Amino acid sequence: MSERKPLIEVKNLRIYFYTYAGVVKAIEDVSFTIYEGETLCLVGETGCGKTVTSRALTKLIKPPGRIVSGEIIYYSPRGPINIVELSEEELREIRGKEIAYIVQDPGAALDPLYTVGYQISETMVDHETVRDWKEAFRRAIALLRETLIPEPERRAKAYPHELSGGMKQRVVISIGLSNEPKLLIADEPTSFLDVTVQAQILELLRELKARKGLTLLLITHDMGVVAEMCDRVIVLYAGTIAEVGPVERMFYRPLHPYTTALLRAVPNPLQRMEKLEAIPGTIPNLINPPPGCRFHPRCPYAMDVCKRERPPMIEVEPQHFVSCWLYAKRG
């Protein structure tokens, strides 16, 4: 394998939300690397911190949330930059231009008062990647054509309410691609679509990534999407990383009890199943999370050490890491 170049390194990231009920420890000591050209997936149950982690990459954590500590090193064309230390003005040069988002709900992301062509063009004009509005609108039509929207010249003059859910998702993808970003973050890009359109959108993302040489960070709770799209997987649980590894190993040889439980909860059409295996219990209250490993109240293999100390991240096999005392004690 050729030497992989890091695009973003997240080091010991902590994100807390300061609410009236108490301090929500949403992200606790999270560290990972996104490499150039890969598709990396963040997976886990609802509320595990996937979206918060992705939004932190461009410091889009709004009050009462705050990045308490840690570093987010972005290897930009100008050299390494710590995102956490940047001002809002400096961040505007990166957000939407070098790091772009495909948001979860395209209907909420698009402004109902403006045509979709205007909204795609606005992104390019604001970042000065085009000479004028006329060039921006021509590129907007080209992007709609590239994302397989029929009659792009006519659709560019349409308002969001005139488009189907699948078309709105393609418009949001066009906005994300408009400034040719280095990293595209797709937050549950198919969650509001029917199954047929989901497959079309995922295939479109795969083709665009290959054609443009993008790096893709995909956020999902759908293990089928993970198997279809990803090179590596990060499994998040209650704001901490449980396991990181190549997608094939994650499916065929999961290490963490939580990863194993997630996979067993997915229906397998090739097997006759009386009922799905649910994970007992619920995600803990992050205002007062359990000590030690946050998964231990739901883990069938929990030991005394799991209740006292947080397990270290261990490389069990090449590029396959797990945070679990089962492997720490063996190692």
Does residue 54 sit within a domain? yes
Does residue 304 sit within a domain? yes
Note whether 277 and 264 are within 8 A (CB): yes
Amino acid identity at 81: I
What CATH number is attached to the domain comprising 212? 3.40.50.300
Q: What is the pLDDT of residues 237-288, one digit of tens each?
A: 999 999 999 999 999 999 999 999 988 887 766 566 666 678 888 889 999 9
Nearest to 262, CA basis, from 270, 274, 271, 254 = 254
d(CA 121, CA 118): 5
Domain that holds residue 85: 6-98+181-330
Does residue 140 sit within a domain? no
pLDDT mean values, one per 10 residues, the chain (331 residues):
83 96 95 96 91 94 94 94 94 92 86 95 92 94 92 95 91 92 91 78 88 92 87 96 95 94 76 72 91 94 93 93 86 48
pLDDT of residue 277: 76
Alpha helices (H) along the chain: 50-56, 88-92, 106-109, 116-126, 133-146, 152-155, 165-177, 195-212, 223-229, 247-252, 257-264, 304-308, 325-330
pLDDT of residue 323: 96
d(CA 132, CA 121): 9
Does residue 209 sit within a domain? yes
Does residue 155 sit within a domain? no
Cis peptide before 64 (omega within 30 of 0): yes
pLDDT of residue 121: 96
Does residue 105 sit within a domain? no
Instruction: Please provide the average confidence, as pLDDT, over all residues in the chain.
Output: 91
Does residue 175 sit within a domain? no
The tally of domains found in the chain comes to 1
pLDDT of residue 188: 87
The rounded radius of gyration (Å) of the Cα atoms in the chain is: 21
Does residue 125 sit within a domain? no
